[in-house]
Structures are given as C-alpha cells and as structure tokens.
Amino acid sequence: MKRIILLIFVLFILVGGYFASNYQPAGTASTPAETKPVYDTKNISFTIDGETISLVDGVSSAPLMAGSETLRTVNYIGDALSHDVDSDGDLDAVFLVSENSGGSGTFYYAVGAINEPTGYVATEALIVGDRISPQSVVAGEGSLVLVNYKDRNFNDPMTVEPAVDKVLQLKYSKEDNKFEKYVYFKDEILYLQEGVQTVRVLSPQVDSSVFSPVVLSGEARGSWFFEGSFPVSIVDAEGAVLGEGFVTANGDWMTNDFVPFVGLVEYKLDASLGSSTPGSVVLRKDNPSGLPEHDDSFEVNVVLNSAFAE
C-alpha cells in the first residue's frame, strides 16, 4: 500500500513539473524559432528569360517544358566573387552559371546575389554569351564587376574555339534589381545591353561620328526578324525621324540563336541642325502582331553628320 502511495506521489510531482515548465500566461504567444538568413549561392533561385531556376548544390535539371523529355540543365561555375555591387556597405556575390537545353548551344550567364537582412536576393540572370570560355570574375572600379572571357570574331562559325579576349562590365541597378552591361573589346565598347541580351551592334560604335548612309552590322536573336529583316530608324536628339530602313539577316533567321545582320540606312540632316548633331540609331524588333508586349528596341547614340560633299 505504501509503495502505491509513493508511486502516485512521484507521478504527481513529475506531471506537475512538466506543466510548470511549459506554463504560459493566457494571451502570451509562443516565440517561433528564429530563421537564419541563407547566404549560399549554390542553393539559390533566380530567373533566366522569366523562368525560375532553383539550384541545389549548384545544379538544376528539369524538363524544358511540361511533358518534355529534354532537360534544361543549369550548372554553377567556379567560385562566386564577393563585392559590394549595390554600394550599401556590405558584401554581395556575383557568380556564373551555364545552361544547356539539349541543343548545340551552351549559354553562360552572370547572376548577382544581393545581401539583404533576409539573406541573398538573386538578380535576373544576364547572358554573357553562347559557347564562350569564361576566364574570371573580378571586382572593378567602385561597385562594378568585370567578367573576363574568350569569344570568337564576329564572322567566325560557332565551331571555332573562342580565342578573342573580351571583358563584360556589370553595373547593378537597384531600381530593377538587374545588371546593365558593357562589353569591351580592345578597350572599345562593343555593345551595351540591359537585361536579357537580344542584340549585339558592331557598327556603328557608341558615340561615333556617322555619315549617310549609315553602315550597320551586328547580330540579333532570330526572334527579332520577320521575313529576314527588322526596321531601323535614324533620329535626332529630340526623337524626330531623319531616316528609315531595314537590316537583313545574313543567315537562317528561323532560330533563337544570334543571327548576323547588315544594312545601309540613309538619312537627311536638316539645315537647322547644322553640319553635325547628336542623334541615335534605333533598331526595332519586327513585330507583325502589333502587340506591345512583343515590342523591343535598342539604341546606339551617335553623332550625325551631313552627307559627304560630292
């Protein structure tokens, strides 16, 4: 009998101790476990062309589209650069990834990981090039980032090994949470493109002096062309159109890859503007649908000169 009473007494103490240790006054909320910010660029989500990519240990592999057996594989490349790209006093990260969707192309992208109190927030992936050879990602002046890589000459086929040194300069935009980029070749700006790269303009160069007709060359994604061409206009600093024309594809344009283009566009400089004036060459994606969501354009700032004397 005494043993039973003793056991009941011990049980009473244990139960009472449990409730005492877990007692919480009415109206007092429990404190959730603190979530620590995640700073791991190999396990981060970002977008490529609007599609979400989620890396797991540096790799993402998923069907290219629902029901497809073709895989879209994205791989983390090298080591991330630690650098304050948004100029807020803490270190962010910039890294490269490669993407292959079963075709011949292997596309390389730069991705930023912005240091926020909640952890890294990824930028939109910015394309560096197709079948290039990345060399290094280093800190530039101030908040700039430099991506060194090897590419091909403009007219080289894609089967040629990349051997031309180029430098991609990245400048972060807080407003858009993405990079703007300038590509340098032999210390000259080759082209400028914001967001997803769609156009590479080789001629005319930025801020160069041009005469009528303007010689245009470069390459654009096949989606820019319709029936093998897309429109170009020459405008003055106020946006007034001085000349219009087209560039034509120098190759098969029924592709999502880059297609070389060439063209000549004439313009007439109004006498009121003098012998030269600031202006722009505006390349526009051909959009037969007329839907604004399919519009795209690219401007190259130039100095417009009156025609050569005959």
pLDDT digits (tens, 9 = 90+) for 98-156: 999 877 778 999 999 999 999 999 999 998 888 999 999 999 888 989 999 998 876 67
d(CA 269, CA 267): 7
Contact assessment for residue 55 and residue 132, using Cβ atoms and an 8 Å cutoff:
no
Phi, psi of 206 (to 5 degrees): -60, 130
State residue 99's pLDDT score.
94
Residue type, 17: G
Domains of the chain by start residue, with CATH: 45-197 (no CATH), 201-305 (2.60.40)
Sequence-ordered alpha helix ranges (H) in the chain: 2-21
Phi, psi of 181 (to 5 degrees): -135, 145
Residue 123, number of CB atoms within 10 A of its CB: 23
Half-sphere exposure of 151 (CA within 13 A, CB side): 20
The 3 state secondary structure assigned to 106-175 is: CEEEEEEEEEECCEEEECCCEEEEECCEEEEEEECCCCCEEEEEEECCCCCCCCCCCCEEEEEEEEEECC
State residue 195's pLDDT score.
38
d(CA 267, CA 235): 9
Angle at 106 between CA 232 and CA 47, to 5 degrees: 75
Residues of the chain with pLDDT under 70: 1-36, 38, 154-155, 182-197, 307-310
Q: Could you give the C-alpha distances from 219 to 5, 15, 203, 261, 288, in angstroms and in order? A: 92, 78, 10, 5, 20
State residue 295's pLDDT score.
83
The one-character DSSP state at 176 is T
Phi, psi of 226 (to 5 degrees): -135, 125
Q: What is the pTM of this model?
A: 0.55
β-sheet bridge partners, residue 230:
247
d(CA 114, CA 116): 6
Strand order from edge to edge, sheet including 258-265? 199-203, 214-221, 258-265, 241-249, 229-236, 276-284, 297-305, 209-210
State residue 117's pLDDT score.
92
State residue 19's pLDDT score.
47
